[in-house]
Amino acid sequence: DSGVTQTPKHLITATGQRVTLRCSPRSGDLSVYWYQQSLDQGLQFLIQYYNGEERAKGNILERFSAQQFPDLHSELNLSSLELGDSALYFCASSVVADTQYFGPGTRLTVL
């Protein structure tokens, strides 16, 4: 158990819909990272927040957005969903930037 929690574990929705994924970091970790993992692309960095502020952006689509709240939990919002958005979405947290602890992930299926 990494100490990072993610909900929900599984999510099935239809194209065009909007979903919210939630992440609670390890106690004391100020940084939260979001990743997308698909079979063909591997683990792709989406976005990082540090203590409520956006710190770095990766290959995140404009249809996707995230935020980190004062209690340090984070949410990833995915809208206008497409079939290709089906993937595993991971959240990770860290104290030291190069040592990240991953949550169990949310498996998103878009039908």
Partner 1 sequence: TQLLEQSPQFLSIQEGENLTVYCNSSSVFSSLQWYRQEPGEGPVLLVTVVTGGEVKKLKRLTFQFGDARKDSSLHITAAQPGDTGLYLCAGRPVDQAGTALIFGKGTTLSVSS
Give residues in contact with partner 1 (CB under 8 A): 2, 4, 33, 42-43, 45, 48, 56, 58, 88, 90, 92, 97-105, 107
Q: In the complex with partner 1, which residue's Cβ is closer, 43 or 111?
A: 43
Q: How far is the CB of 107 from partner 1 (least distance, A)?
A: 7
Q: How far is the CB of 50 from partner 1 (least distance, A)?
A: 11
Q: Return all residues near 58 (Cβ < 8 A) that are at least 6 apart.
A: 44, 45, 46, 47
C-alpha to C-alpha distances, 72 to 8, 33, 41, 51, 57, nearest whole angstrom? 18, 12, 29, 7, 18
- Taking the least distance from each CB to partner 1, the nearer of 105 and 108 is 105
Task: Look up residue 77 and give its two tokens.
Answer: 């919002």
